[in-house]
């Protein structure tokens, strides 16, 4: 059960950079209105009815919670070396080029900056749909997660006699002998235990 929760959690966090881009795009496109709403909050304490304002701030908060959540989750996981599984590595490779599709999906909202009459509500729901598709496709796959990269983790594709794993490490792996054990995060994704 705990493995499924982490799988759902990591699937959700894959979409966070796209929502972050959406929020920044919304701020860039209508900076004056966005700041006016904040001024009204602090001066009038009025109730907010701006969908754009809620969507932008909700997206920013989602990204913040995902970064904080992944940070503490991986930090906590790394402390449980007694749960580690021994691994005999045949070969490994750095997966630094694997995140191209994730980066591209995060850039898509920026393409709308130059559109003059684009309704932010429609853009928001398109991004939500895109986020759902990203989440569905990454649920059963060991996908690259930009948040892990932001936090300084490196992705490694590790081959054993039985399986291939995607393993994360804060430490730069220069030799397959550096990979001796790992802790499961999802089905085929783990965290390398560095001694």
pTM of the prediction? 0.77
Cβ atoms of residues 88 and 117 within 8 Å? no
| CA–CA gap between residue 99 and residue 182 (Å, rounded) | 22
Cβ atoms of residues 69 and 9 within 8 Å? yes
| CA–CA gap between residue 158 and residue 119 (Å, rounded) | 45
Alpha-carbon dihedral angle through residues 175, 92, 168, 189, given to the nearest 10 degrees:
-150
Q: What is the pLDDT along the chain (195 residues), one digit of tens a residue?
A: 455 777 778 778 888 888 888 888 888 877 777 777 777 777 776 656 677 888 888 999 999 999 999 999 988 888 877 778 888 888 888 886 555 566 666 666 666 666 666 677 777 787 777 777 776 666 666 567 888 888 988 888 889 888 888 888 888 888 888 888 888 887 768 888 875
Q: Which two tokens stand for residue 60?
A: 């920013």
Domain edges within the chain: 2-192
């Amino acid at each position: 059960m705990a493995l499924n929760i982490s799988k759902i959690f990591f699937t959700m966090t894959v979409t966070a950079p796209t929502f972050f881009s959406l929020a920044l795009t919304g701020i860039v496109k209508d900076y004056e209105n966005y700041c006016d709403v904040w001024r009204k909050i602090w001066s009038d304490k009025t109730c907010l009815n701006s969908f754009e304002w809620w969507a932008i701030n909700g997206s920013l908060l989602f990204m913040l919670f995902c970064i904080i959540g992944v940070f503490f989750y991986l930090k906590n996981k790394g402390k449980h070396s007694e749960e580690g599984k021994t691994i005999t590595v045949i070969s490994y490779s750095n997966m630094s080029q694997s995140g191209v599709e994730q980066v591209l999906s995060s850039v898509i909202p920026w393409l709308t900056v130059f559109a003059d009459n684009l309704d932010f509500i429609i853009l928001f729901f398109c991004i939500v749909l895109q986020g759902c598709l990203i989440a569905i496709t990454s649920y059963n796959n060991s996908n690259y997660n930009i948040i892990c990269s932001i936090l300084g983790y490196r992705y490694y594709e590790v081959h054993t006699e039985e399986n291939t794993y995607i393993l994360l490490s804060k430490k730069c792996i220069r030799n397959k002998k550096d990979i001796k054990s790992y802790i499961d995060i999802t089905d085929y994704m783990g965290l390398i235990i560095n001694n």
